[in-house]
């Protein structure tokens, strides 16, 4: 029996997740990729497994994978692969990381999975088919006001000295119940999809960090755009994803911050 794209992606993500747990037990060391970005043996082994499986199942499909072992071809199908999202957490034994894969057809995301092997949670979605957590349909939260929301953000390691997100972090922390920084963008998005978070934003993500999570949020009834309210570009500079109800309130606050206007002044030292 031939499995659907999504079923195949889920099987592969689970297999890669089990592999990550073996590496976690062995406490693998890390190397630096650039100035501050960590990479481990586990990232590479997981990517190898995923890319091998995808190549044997879908030999004509393009693969864009974080550690560089994919191949972009001419197929209308393209897989985005993050073999270990949350590498810094993983390298320190902080229990928040995942494997994530998504499939795009002719520029549209059609299937995605985020697998958390520690909690054995499979978040998955197909375009038009809803979003699921371990076979149960999920929906975004119902929070209607930013002041009652729990949101999350992230700070990429690459070029971190240029990241302006700290300005946004302060304003949003003051305007909400709190801002979490879990260190695993795909799980942040999956948590928006299932209502554990009301929203998430980040600058400088890559397509493999967000592709599956974006589809999850959309299929769970949420809203995704860039941080200025434009259509999200997977290769664009920033992302905002939330339950839809608080989207315009967040965009208003973001537009003030982009203009350098602070509703909440920084505390004096
Ligand atoms: C990182 C994580 C982190 C986010 C970074 C990503 P990686 O992915 O998702 O939460 O803040 O922007 O690069 O490098 O661990 O796969
Ligand atoms: Ca990532
Ligand atoms: Ca990664």
CATH number at residue 215: 3.40.190.80
Q: b/e per residue, 16-46, with b = 16+ CB within 10 A?
A: bbebbeebbeeebebeeeeeebbbbebbebb
In a domain, residue 265? The reply is no
The verdict on pTM exceeding 0.85 is: yes
156 lines ligand 1 (CB under 6 A): yes
Angle CA 20–29–116, to nearest 5: 25
Looking at residue 186, its pLDDT comes to 98
Q: Take residue 234 and report the two structure tokens written for it.
A: 């997977």
Of ligand 1's listed atoms, the one at least distance from the Cα of 183 is 10
| Domain final position from 110, 137, 164 | 137
**Alpha carbon distance 43, 239 (integer Å):** 24
In a domain, residue 268? The reply is no
Residue 157 banded pLDDT, cuts 50, 70, 90: confident
Looking at residue 223, its pLDDT comes to 98
Q: How far is the CA of 248 from the centre of ligand 2 (A)?
A: 27
In a domain, residue 266? The reply is no
Considering the domain architecture, whether residues 116 and 182 belong to the same structural domain is answered as: no
Percent of the chain having pLDDT more than 70?
Answer: 98
Considering the domain architecture, whether residues 108 and 196 belong to the same structural domain is answered as: no
Domain that holds residue 214: 146-258
Number of domains in the chain: 2
Looking at residue 35, its pLDDT comes to 65
Percent of the chain having pLDDT more than 90?
Answer: 86
Considering the domain architecture, whether residues 207 and 119 belong to the same structural domain is answered as: no
Residue 69 banded pLDDT, cuts 50, 70, 90: confident
Query: Which residues neighbour ligand 3 (ion) by CB within 5 Å?
Result: 66, 82, 84-85
Closest among 101, 83, 81, 91 to 36, alpha carbons compared: 91
Q: How far is the CA of 96 from the centre of ligand 3 (A)?
A: 12
Considering the domain architecture, whether residues 99 and 121 belong to the same structural domain is answered as: yes
Closest among 135, 109, 119, 83 to 216, alpha carbons compared: 109
* Environment class of 221 (CB within 10 Å of its CB; exposed 0-12, middle 13-18, buried 19+): middle
**Alpha carbon distance 193, 263 (integer Å):** 29
Q: Take residue 129 and report the two structure tokens written for it.
A: 């088919």
Q: What is the pLDDT of residues 251-261, one digit of tens each?
A: 999 999 999 99
């Amino acid at each position: 029996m031939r499995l659907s794209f999504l079923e195949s992606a889920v099987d592969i993500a689970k297999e890669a997740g089990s592999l990550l747990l073996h590496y976690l037990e062995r406490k693998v060391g890390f190397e630096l990729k650039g100035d501050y970005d960590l990479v481990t043996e586990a990232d590479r082994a997981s990517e190898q497994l995923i890319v091998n499986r995808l190549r044997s199942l879908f030999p004509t499909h393009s693969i864009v994978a974080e550690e560089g072992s994919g191949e972009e071809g001419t197929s209308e199908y393209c897989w985005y692969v993050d073999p270990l999202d949350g590498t810094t957490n993983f390298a320190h034994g902080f229990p928040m990381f995942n494997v994530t894969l998504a499939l795009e057809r002719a520029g549209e995301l059609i299937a995605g999975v985020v697998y958390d092997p520690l909690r054995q949670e499979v978040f998955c979605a197909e375009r038009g088919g809803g979003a699921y957590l371990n076979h149960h349909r999920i929906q975004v939260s119902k929070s209607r006001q930013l002041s009652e929301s729990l949101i999350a953000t992230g700070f990429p390691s690459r070029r971190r000295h240029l990241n302006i997100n700290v300005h946004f972090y302060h304003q949003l922390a003051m305007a909400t119940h709190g801002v979490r920084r879990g260190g695993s963008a795909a799980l942040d998005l999956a948590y928006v999809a299932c209502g554990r978070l009301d929203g998430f934003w980040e600058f400088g993500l890559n397509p493999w960090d967000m592709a599956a999570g974006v589809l999850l949020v959309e299929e769970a009834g949420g809203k995704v755009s860039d941080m200025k309210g434009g259509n999200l570009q997977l290769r664009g500079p920033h992302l905002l994803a939330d339950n839809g109800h608080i989207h315009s309130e967040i965009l208003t606050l973001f537009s003030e911050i982009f203009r350098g206007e602070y509703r909440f002044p920084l505390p004096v030292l």
